[in-house]
């Protein structure tokens, strides 16, 4: 049986990050993954990540995955794909099924980074073909290039539901609605806003009652729910869909940790009890990533590095002092991601009413997915009085750890400050040149450039556009407001992009002057759905 100094189970962001960290310290590392491709869920994420530069902000998930893989290769990490770790036994032994046979391996340290699996919500008709996990839709679209269906009902408004809904639109699939039994949208307001401005409706306090069809989904029935989440008779609505995606949360896949005999605790599912570096109650057995508690890819990568460093220290590759310094820096970085409105300590809270700065949180954003015009004007990213000439309007109204907009502007027009959860503000004497870097850099697609052309009675609005076909210069159509309704006729002035924008197109449209703070999306033609 082959022996490694570190065996990593799972080649997702946590596992690969740990492997690279350990290998760079000098350890012999092998990673086993049951899938044909490495990267876990990372390769399915086509949106730009949040956080700060050190967290790979504004880089698309799958590119981060590609980088990680390259690092793993360069560090000499052995990545074994199509390899199912079937069991974990005493003294660091695992059995792996690969192809037609089973092989035993031994690790001085083992890291379980097996991630999470999707939660389920059963309903009448949920076993029909066409009902699938949101992750399944992502896999089919982003890994295999096949549309999961033609018109989707998304059940669940957490970040997964919101992000996958947008990805469905990008793949040319219609999204009939996003529903959630909770009274407010669970994920980031900016993710919801991207959908709302295209016209995707949100039904909060609604649940799916039935998926209709004999051999596959042909429609769905949703209904409003009461405080006990029970459907209210008479509120049923029928939706014409052929696909229902379920995005109601994730649970850690901790079977291997239980099999090994780790002391377990409850954290959104059974997770091992760990010390501050990810070591379980079994010396030499570590966990990192979602399997230790659901967060997201950015935290998983840092958690993986901490565990990898801890394994290296355990095997004597990292002196104590160096390890503590490294771990401390990584934990500080991780701590930054744990702040803000959606931080782990705020999980499930629905009583937040103001931002850290004291601005009133938008209720329409939480309940419908869009800000009202009045609300936008009240935030530091869009305050009126700074609107001489072209200027950015930043519609970012919740405290989330994210600051690429600050670095994007060469002229210092945008300020977030030292705490990246702070709301971005447009500087008093902003000298905006209209380059659009901020528009392209915002992972939430929440920044617009507005230029009031007083004399002509028109205004131009530049927005981030990530769909095909890209409207051409001169294209006539309509502008949609934040709620997805047509607000006025519009004409495309310019559609430009550059390599470093990685697919985001800066679309500039001309609208009547009074629409400059209303128009937020462009549709060619008359915009009828």
Partner 1 sequence: MSRLLDRNREIGAFVPQQDDDLIICRCEEITKGEIRRAVHEGMWTLTEVKRFLRAGMGLCQGQTCGRLVKGIVAKELGVRPSELEDTTARCPTRPVEMQVFGNEVHGHE
Partner 2 sequence: MRIQKHPILDRIQKGRQVTFSLDGKPMQGYEGEPIAAALLAAGVRVHRYTTKARQPRGIFCAIGRCTDCVMVVDGKPNVRTCVTPLKEGMRVQTQVGISAKKESDDHETI
Q: Could you tell me if 231 and 211 are in contact, meaning their C-beta atoms sit under 8 angstroms apart?
A: no
Task: Select 170 or 281, whichever has its Cβ closest to partner 2.
Answer: 170
Q: Could you tell me if 113 and 12 are in contact, meaning their C-beta atoms sit under 8 angstroms apart?
A: yes
Q: Which does 172 bind (CB under 5 to 8 A by kind): partner 1, partner 2, none?
A: partner 2
Task: Select 252 or 308, whichever has its Cβ closest to partner 1.
Answer: 252
- The secondary structure of 318-356 as a DSSP string is S-HHHHHHHHHHHHHHHHHHT-STTSGGGTT-----B-T
Give the chain's end-to-end CA distance (angstroms, integer).
61
Q: Could you tell me if 300 and 289 are in contact, meaning their C-beta atoms sit under 8 angstroms apart?
A: yes
Q: Which does 60 bind (CB under 5 to 8 A by kind): partner 1, partner 2, none?
A: partner 2
Residues that bind partner 2 (CB under 8 A): 34-36, 46, 60, 62, 117-118, 127-133, 135-137, 139-148, 150, 170-172, 214-216, 466-468, 470, 502-503
Residues within window 75-94 making contact with partner 1, judged by CB under 8 A: 80, 84-89
Q: Residue 122 interacts with partner 1 (CB under 8 A)?
A: yes
CA gap 280, 257 in Å, rounded: 9
Task: Select 62 or 126, whichever has its Cβ closest to partner 1.
Answer: 126
What's the closest the beta carbon of residue 215 comes to partner 2, in angstroms? 5
What's the closest the beta carbon of residue 132 comes to partner 2, in angstroms? 5
Measured N-to-C along each axis, helices 13-24 and 297-314 cross at an angle, to the nearest 10 degrees, of 30
CA gap 452, 289 in Å, rounded: 47
Strands 486-496 and 101-112, sheet pairing? unpaired
CA gap 196, 219 in Å, rounded: 22
What's the closest the beta carbon of residue 433 comes to partner 1, in angstroms? 53
Q: Residue 469 interacts with partner 1 (CB under 8 A)?
A: no
Q: Which does 100 bind (CB under 5 to 8 A by kind): partner 2, partner 1, none?
A: partner 1
Give the interface size with partner 1 as a residue count (CB under 8 A).
33
Measured N-to-C along each axis, helices 297-314 and 320-337 cross at an angle, to the nearest 10 degrees, of 170
Binds partner 1 by CB under 8 A, chosen from 90, 215, 227, 266? 266
CA gap 200, 214 in Å, rounded: 27
Task: Select 1 or 146, whichever has its Cβ closest to partner 2.
Answer: 146
Task: Select 253 or 427, whichever has its Cβ closest to partner 1.
Answer: 253
Kindly report the length of the chain. Answer: 529
**Tokens standing for 496?**
């430009």
Binds partner 1 by CB under 8 A, chosen from 26, 108, 126, 201? 126
Residues within window 51-80 making contact with partner 1, judged by CB under 8 A: 80
Binds partner 1 by CB under 8 A, chosen from 66, 119, 170, 184? 119
Binding mask 326-345 for partner 1 (x = CB under 8 A): --------------------
Nearest residue to 118 via CA among 169, 153, 160: 160
**Tokens standing for 160?**
């997964």
Q: Residue 12 interacts with partner 1 (CB under 8 A)?
A: no
């Amino acid at each position: 049986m082959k022996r490694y100094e570190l065996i990593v189970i799972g080649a997702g962001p946590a596992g690969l990050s740990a492997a690279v960290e350990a290998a760079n310290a000098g350890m012999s590392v092998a990673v086993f993954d049951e899938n044909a491709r490495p990267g876990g869920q990372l390769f399915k994420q086509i949106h730009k990540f949040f956080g700060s530069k050190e967290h790979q902000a504004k880089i698309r998930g799958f590119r981060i995955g590609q980088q990680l893989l390259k690092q793993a290769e360069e560090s000499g990490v052995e990545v074994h794909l199509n390899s199912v770790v079937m069991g974990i036994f005493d003294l660091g032994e695992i059995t792996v099924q690969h192809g037609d046979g089973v092989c035993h391996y031994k690790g001085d340290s083992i890291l379980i980074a097996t991630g999470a699996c999707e939660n389920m919500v059963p309903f009448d008709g949920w076993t029909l073909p066409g009902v699938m996990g949101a992750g399944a839709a992502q896999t089919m679209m982003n890994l295999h290039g096949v549309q999961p269906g033609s018109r989707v009902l998304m059940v669940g408004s957490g970040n997964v539901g919101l992000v996958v809904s947008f990805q469905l639109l990008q793949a040319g699939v219609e999204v009939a609605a996003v529903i959630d039994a909770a009274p407010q949208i669970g994920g980031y307001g900016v993710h919801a806003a991207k959908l709302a401005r295209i016209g995707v409706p949100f039904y909060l306090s609604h649940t799916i009652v039935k998926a209709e069809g004999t051999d596959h989904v042909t429609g769905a029935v949703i209904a409003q729910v009461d405080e006990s989440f029970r459907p209210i008779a008479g509120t049923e609505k029928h939706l014409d869909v052929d696909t229902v995606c379920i995005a109601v949360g994730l649970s850690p896949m901790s079977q291997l940790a239980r099999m090994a005999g780790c002391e377990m605790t409850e954290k959104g599912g059974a997770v091992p009890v760990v010390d501050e570096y990810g070591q379980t109650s079994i010396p030499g057995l570590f966990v990192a990533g979602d399997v230790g508690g659901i967060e997201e890819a950015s935290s998983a990568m840092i958690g993986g590095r901490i565990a990898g460093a801890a394994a290296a220290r355990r095997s004597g590759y990292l002196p104590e002092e160096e390890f503590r310094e490294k771990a401390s820096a990584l934990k500080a970085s991780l701590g930054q991601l744990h702040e803000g409105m959606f931080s782990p300590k705020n999980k499930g809270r629905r009583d937040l009413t103001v931002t850290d700065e004291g601005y009133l949180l938008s209720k329409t954003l939480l309940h419908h997915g869009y800000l009202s015009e009045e609300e936008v004007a009240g935030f530091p990213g869009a305050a009126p009085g700074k609107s001489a000439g072209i200027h950015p309007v930043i519609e970012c109204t919740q405290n989330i750890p994210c600051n690429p907009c600050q670095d994007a502007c060469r002229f210092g027009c945008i300020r977030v400050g030292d705490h990246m959860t702070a709301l971005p503000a447009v500087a008093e004497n902003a000298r905006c040149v209209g380059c659009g870097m901020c528009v392209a850099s915002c992972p939430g697609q929440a920044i617009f450039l507005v230029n009031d052309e007083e004399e002509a009675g028109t205004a131009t609005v530049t927005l981030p556009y990530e769909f095909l076909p890209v409207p051409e210069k001169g294209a006539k159509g309509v502008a949609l407001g934040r709620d997805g309704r047509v607000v006025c006729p519009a004409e495309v002035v310019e559609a430009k992009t550059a390599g470093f924008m990685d697919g985001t197109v800066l679309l500039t449209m001309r609208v009547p002057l009074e629409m400059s703070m209303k128009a937020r999306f462009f549709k060619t033609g008359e915009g009828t759905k």
